[in-house]
């Protein structure tokens, strides 16, 4: 009820510049067009590609070491206004920011993609870290998206409290999260994993591995924003 009330009460103004909103959305046309859309991007890991790259072509990393998920869908880059919006949501638990990011995620995913999964799995925080932060951003997004898409929400478990991924390179991130997740019970054939920000994809890759062990045959990685090329 709170989410519905916020959507009805707040879309009159753009969440980015406070100008009048457009078409019932919490953004204006100018801000929407200037957002850092993740196009073109690698279809395998959603890493932003240089302008002019052929659409649908895998990046070199995905060719050499394919991720354990089949496809990554991340409509925005973690830059500019999106960075500020994610931080308000993640570290200050702003429901307005969360609703804006969720709407952008839905709008940025093709209808066929939204209709594809049979279950949605948020990237879990370790219980100790969740208590310290007091807010689980992936779970918040996934609960609302599962209701909107009318698909089950499945909880995964983080097996150990791994060190922060900040400052680690790609290989260190993969090693840090090795066997870091567990999914109990049998999963349906098609599942989508959800996080707020995808950096190198190591976390979603480790969770995808756990989903494969639990019976998932098709796994997609979804996130709101992807970090730019390093």
* Residues 147-177: tens digit of each pLDDT: 999 999 999 998 865 555 455 555 555 555 6
82-87-89 Cα angle (round to 5): 95
Structural domains of the chain sorted by starting position, each given as residue range(s) with its CATH number in brackets: 41-75+110-226 (3.40.50)
Length of the chain, in residues: 230
3-state secondary structure of 201: coil
Nearest Cα to Cα of residue 171 among 140, 205, 215, 130? 205
pLDDT at position 153, please? Answer: 97
Helix (H), strand (E) at residue 82: helix 80-92
pLDDT at position 24, please? Answer: 84
pLDDT at position 47, please? Answer: 95
* Residues 54-81: tens digit of each pLDDT: 778 899 999 999 999 999 999 999 999 9
Residues lower than pLDDT 50 in the chain: 165
pLDDT at position 21, please? Answer: 86
For 106-139, letters b (16+ CB in 10 Å) and e give: eebbeeeebebbebbbbbbbeeeeeeeeeebbbb
pLDDT at position 173, please? Answer: 53
pLDDT at position 10, please? Answer: 53
Among all chains, which residue has been given the structure tokens 């510049």?
17
pLDDT at position 2, please? Answer: 58
Q: Beta strands of 97-140 (E only): which ranges?
A: 119-122
pLDDT at position 177, please? Answer: 62
């Amino acid at each position: 009820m709170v989410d519905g009330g916020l959507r009805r009460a707040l879309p009159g103004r753009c969440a980015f510049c406070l100008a009048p909103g457009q078409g019932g959305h919490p953004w204006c046309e100018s801000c929407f067009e200037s957002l850092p859309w993740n196009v073109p991007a690698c279809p395998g890991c959603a890493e932003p590609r240089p302008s002019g790259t052929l659409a649908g072509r895998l990046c070199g990393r995905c060719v050499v070491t394919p991720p354990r998920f089949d496809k990554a869908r991340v409509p925005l880059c973690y830059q500019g206004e999106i960075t500020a919006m994610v931080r308000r949501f993640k570290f200050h638990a702003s429901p307005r920011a969360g609703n804006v990011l969720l709407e952008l995620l839905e709008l940025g995913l093709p209808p066929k993609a939204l209709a594809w999964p049979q279950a949605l799995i948020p990237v879990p925080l370790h219980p100790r870290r969740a208590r310290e932060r007091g807010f689980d951003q992936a779970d918040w997004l996934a609960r609302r998206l599962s209701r909107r898409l009318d698909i089950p929400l499945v909880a995964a478990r983080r097996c150990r409290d791994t060190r922060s991924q900040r400052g680690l390179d790609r290989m260190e991130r993969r090693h840090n999260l090795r066997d870091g997740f567990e999914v109990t019970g049998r999963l349906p054939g098609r599942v989508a994993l959800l996080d707020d920000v995808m950096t190198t994809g190591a976390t979603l890759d480790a969770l995808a591995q756990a989903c494969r062990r639990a019976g998932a045959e098709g796994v997609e990685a979804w996130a709101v924003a992807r970090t730019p090329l390093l």
